[in-house]
Amino acid sequence: MTGDPATSAMSQPSAPPPAPTARSLPLHTFVTMFVRLLAIQGSWNYELLLGTGIGFCTEPALRRLPGGKGGASYRQALARQSRYFNAHPYLAAVAVGALSRAEIDEVPPAQIERFRTALCGPLGSVGDRLVWAGWLPFSSLLALVAFGFEASPVIVLLIFLGVYNVGHLGLRAWGLIVGWRRGLRVASALANPVMRQGPLHIARMNAFLAGIALPLSLARVLDPGKALPALFDLFSGNRPLGGLLKIRLALAVPVTLLAALMGAAVLVSGHGRFEGWRAALLMLGLFALYSVVRS
Amino acid sequence: MSAAELVMLSVLGALLGLDVVSFPQAMFSRPLVAATAAGAALGNPALGLTAGAVLELIALDTLPVGASRYPEWGSASVVGGALFATFGNAPAGALVLAVTGALATAWAGGWTMFALRQLNGQWARRALPALDAGSPHAVMGLQMLGMTADLIRGGLLTLVALLVLVPVAARLVLHWHAGDLVSHMMVVACAVAVAISAMWKLVHGATHAKWFALAGLLVGLIAVRSR
């Protein structure tokens, strides 16, 4: 380690560099940057990845540099910020805040570039685990539980969009604010308990929710409100009206579950060699063909 | 399906296709939302929601991670929701055809997103001198161009998919042999299998996850029983 704050900020959070000088941005600049963050992937490509998006989002702050919009400092900073960058799109807000702060504080360009490079890895991996593998499935499963309880479409959508976007918008806003406040010392923010332990707790909640959501969703789609209760009735020896139909319905459930478990076992044992959605497309396509040709 | 409905669904597909990556990525493009919106546009949000729930179970398997190529669920779910809302009230094969149509569209959508990213790359390469000079117009132009192209991509994908799949589905449901229950069993078995394997991938590394899953399953079965 060289002791350079740009790199040591990411690798040695316990030894932070000196605090940046106190600066402030007008509220409307923050709001503009936040709105632009929603479009940070607007020109995502395999050359620069998020690079142009970072330039796009930091641009309102860069107008505060000496010389204003179009000045030499502004142009040099915008050019720096529009180069290659990779991160999770929501946690890129941390980078946008921190890099804007570094530019406004007129940190040396070489130091900013090292800091920028060092940010990429952590912001990608933390975001992927927290959001894509955690919060998104959590919101989906919660909404599927509501669906299984026969909630109306409006309620299901409100639950999904409400829960997901509290996390989504909150994370972007937090990232922008904490990035701006801490500047080059932002690494310590990524070490907070939510970022470190959050994915583990969310994974457990997701396991619990999946256990609830799958039988409930299965029951609703297979035969709204009848199939699984019919199975329970069958096991309890209770065979009231429409016994044959109920037995048929009841057998549908274990057969479907068995088929699903076998399919899941095949997919899991494949270790990602084939994707589930492709397998589902193949199976359903073949079934459709069989069902039509047989007639 | 009328021309007005086709236009309305294409606009919806364009907006929800844009949400997948470009703007605002607030997950309006997830199957639960997109298919329900398509169903509502055709006057039957409940059928749209059913198709959306099945697709959502399958979509749990794909994480929209960075540069990886993944299916595009926004426009595809509009197609799936619209197909089920159009044919779902009577014919047995409607759910199978709606989900299959949506999966095929999601596959095609993944390819269109890959092509768009390559196109964005070409535009970015062309704009490199201006970017290196710190031109705000170049930055803004690339963002706007990318989002506009994505909007058009989603709209065209939805339109083409509906133009192809609605007449095909209309013919197939008439010749559908399998019964209602068997058809639904097939769809549910596929969706739940994909969802179980997806959840396994996502949570099996977490300590005690299997006990949480079993506890949830117990609660779920009790909830089904007591409904």
- ipTM of the complex as predicted: 0.96
**CB-based contact A229 B58, cutoff 8 Å:** no
User: B227 in contact with A at a CB cutoff of 8 Å?
Assistant: yes
User: A155 in contact with B at a CB cutoff of 8 Å?
Assistant: no
Separation CA B31–CA B23 (nearest Å):
17
Which residues of chain B lie closer than 8 angstroms to A203, CB-CB?
A: 202-203, 205-206, 209
pLDDT digits (tens, 9 = 90+) for B140-188: 999 999 999 999 999 999 999 999 999 999 999 999 988 888 898 999 9
User: B115 in contact with A at a CB cutoff of 8 Å?
Assistant: no
Mean pLDDT by 10 residues, chain A (295 residues): 45 44 80 98 95 97 94 97 96 97 96 94 90 97 96 97 98 96 90 88 96 91 60 54 63 81 92 88 96 82
pLDDT digits (tens, 9 = 90+) for B91-126: 789 999 999 999 999 999 999 999 999 999 999 999
Interface of B with A in 187-226 (CB under 8 A): 187-203, 205-210, 212-221, 223-225
Q: Which of B48, B142, B190 sits opposite A52 (nearest CB)?
A: B142
pLDDT computed for residue A283 by the predictor = 96
Note whether B123 and B145 are within 8 A (CB): yes
CA distance B41 to chain A (A): 13
**Which helix or strand (DSSP H or E) is residue A31 part of?**
helix A27-37
CA distance A1 to chain B (A): 30
Interface of B with A in 49-78 (CB under 8 A): 49-50, 53-54, 56-67, 71
pLDDT computed for residue A158 by the predictor = 98
Half-sphere exposure of A59 (CA within 13 A, CB side): 26
Mean pLDDT of all residues belonging to chain B: 94
pLDDT computed for residue A233 by the predictor = 56
**CB-based contact B36 A156, cutoff 8 Å:** yes
User: A128 in contact with B at a CB cutoff of 8 Å?
Assistant: yes
**CB-based contact A41 B96, cutoff 8 Å:** no
Which two three-digit tokens encode residue B182? 């068997």
3-class secondary structure per residue, A125-152? HHHHHHHHHHHHHHHHHHHHHHHHCCCC
Coil, strand or helix at A45? strand
User: B90 in contact with A at a CB cutoff of 8 Å?
Assistant: no
Omega into B24 within 30° of 0, i.e. cis? yes
User: A52 in contact with B at a CB cutoff of 8 Å?
Assistant: yes
CA distance B195 to chain A (A): 8
Which two three-digit tokens encode residue A11? 């690798």
**CB-based contact B189 A136, cutoff 8 Å:** no
Separation CA A130–CA A89 (nearest Å):
12
pLDDT computed for residue A244 by the predictor = 62
**CB-based contact B215 A208, cutoff 8 Å:** yes
Nearest Cα neighbor of A148 from B190, B63, B204, B216 is B216
Separation CA B47–CA B43 (nearest Å):
9
pLDDT computed for residue A226 by the predictor = 55
pLDDT computed for residue A295 by the predictor = 59
Which two three-digit tokens encode residue A50? 């998020």
- With CA atoms as reference, the chain A residue closest to B151 would be A42
- With CA atoms as reference, the chain B residue closest to A145 would be B220
Give residue B40's pLDDT band: very low, low, confident or very high (50, 70, 90): very high
pLDDT computed for residue A5 by the predictor = 46
Note whether A44 and B123 are within 8 A (CB): no
Note whether B19 and A41 are within 8 A (CB): no
